């Protein structure tokens, strides 16, 4: 798997591309930065071609035209996972911050944020407010390295969600920010940027399957044994 030449940043339901700017500015990775926007969200004009969630995913997938690392916040994480399944050969890494990941987050202790968010953002598309994406059965097919960024004080995507994704995503790691809330990727950008750089520049993605040998497999087994041990940022 190649190193990314593009970092594609996906915002959450606010649709604000600037959410990721502080972290993008702190990263030293040489890849081109690209900030996605969602038609109908965050002041972005609606697009008649985007009438459903599937249309929005298609718009993002069209931007993956080179080796790309997807860096996604909240709702953007669901889009990132769908895009990774669609563009397996071009998505090199995935960074997910406090996303539902296509899980039933309320069953894992999350507060329902939709009604209050909709009241404050009446321009949101109707399809978004009723969206319930279930990716539970598909997460095992995500083979790219996945970095999970979570806080321990997020009522909308509690740590239990990140821990469950850690179990379901076969090549994932979980980094926890003490005191981090739902905006941790923006507020704690200076702390998280070195970790994201390390992840993107790491050697856990192989250029060629022939480079993978028994020694690598043994190392992975050791990593798996300690996978449930969260790293604190």
Q: CB pairs under 8 A, 24+ apart, for 81-86?
A: 81/135, 81/138, 81/139, 81/142, 82/57, 82/133, 82/135, 83/57, 84/142, 84/144, 85/138, 85/141, 85/142, 86/57, 86/61
Residue 25 maps to a domain: yes
Per-residue confidence (pLDDT) for residue 223, from 0 to 100 = 46
Residue 47 maps to a domain: yes
Range of the domain at 220: 6-232
Residue 142 maps to a domain: yes
Helix segments in 18-153, DSSP class H = 21-26, 53-61, 75-86, 114-120, 126-129
| Sign, Cα dihedral of 101, 103, 107, 108 | negative
Residue 146 maps to a domain: yes
pLDDT by 10s per residue, the chain, length 233: 589 999 999 999 888 889 999 999 999 999 999 999 999 888 888 899 999 999 999 999 999 999 999 999 999 999 999 999 999 999 999 999 999 999 999 999 998 877 787 788 777 877 877 778 899 999 999 999 999 999 999 999 999 999 999 999 999 999 999 999 999 999 999 999 999 999 999 844 434 433 434 444 444 444 444 454 577 77
Residue 1 maps to a domain: no
Per-residue confidence (pLDDT) for residue 35, from 0 to 100 = 97
Residue 100 maps to a domain: yes
CA gyration radius for the chain? Answer: 17
Residue 162 maps to a domain: yes
Using the 8-state DSSP alphabet, how is residue 168 labeled?
A: H
User: What is the pTM assigned to this prediction?
Assistant: 0.86
Q: In this predicted model, what pLDDT tens digit does every residue of 183-192 receive, in sequence order?
A: 999 999 999 9
- Cα separation, 78 vs 96, in Å, equals 9
For residue 111, what are the contacts with CB-CB under 8 A and spacing of at least 6? Answer: 155, 156
CATH of the domain at 173: 3.40.50.1820
- Number of domains into which the chain is organized: 1
């Amino acid at each position: 798997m190649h190193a990314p030449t593009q970092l594609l940043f996906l915002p959450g339901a606010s649709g604000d591309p600037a959410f990721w700017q502080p972290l993008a500015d702190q990263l030293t990775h040489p890849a081109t930065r690209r900030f996605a926007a969602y038609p109908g969200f965050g002041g972005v004009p609606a697009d008649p071609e985007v009438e459903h969630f599937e249309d929005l995913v298609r718009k993002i997938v069209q931007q993956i035209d080179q080796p790309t690392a997807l860096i996604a916040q909240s709702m953007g994480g669901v889009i990132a996972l769908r895009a990774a399944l669609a563009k397996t050969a071009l998505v090199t890494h995935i960074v997910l911050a406090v996303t539902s990941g296509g899980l039933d987050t309320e069953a894992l202790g999350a507060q329902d944020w939709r009604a209050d968010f909709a009241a404050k953002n009446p321009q949101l598309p109707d399809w978004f407010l009723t969206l319930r994406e279930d990716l539970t059965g598909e997460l095992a097919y995500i083979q790219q390295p996945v970095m999970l960024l979570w806080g321990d004080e997020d009522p909308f995507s509690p740590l239990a969600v990140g821990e469950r994704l850690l179990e379901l995503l076969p090549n994932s790691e979980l980094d926890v920010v003490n005191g981090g809330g739902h905006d941790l990727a923006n507020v704690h950008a200076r702390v998280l940027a070195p970790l994201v750089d390390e992840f993107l520049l790491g050697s856990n993605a192989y250029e060629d399957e022939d480079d993978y040998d028994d020694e690598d497999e043994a190392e992975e087994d050791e990593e798996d044994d300690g996978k449930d041990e969260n790293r604190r940022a």
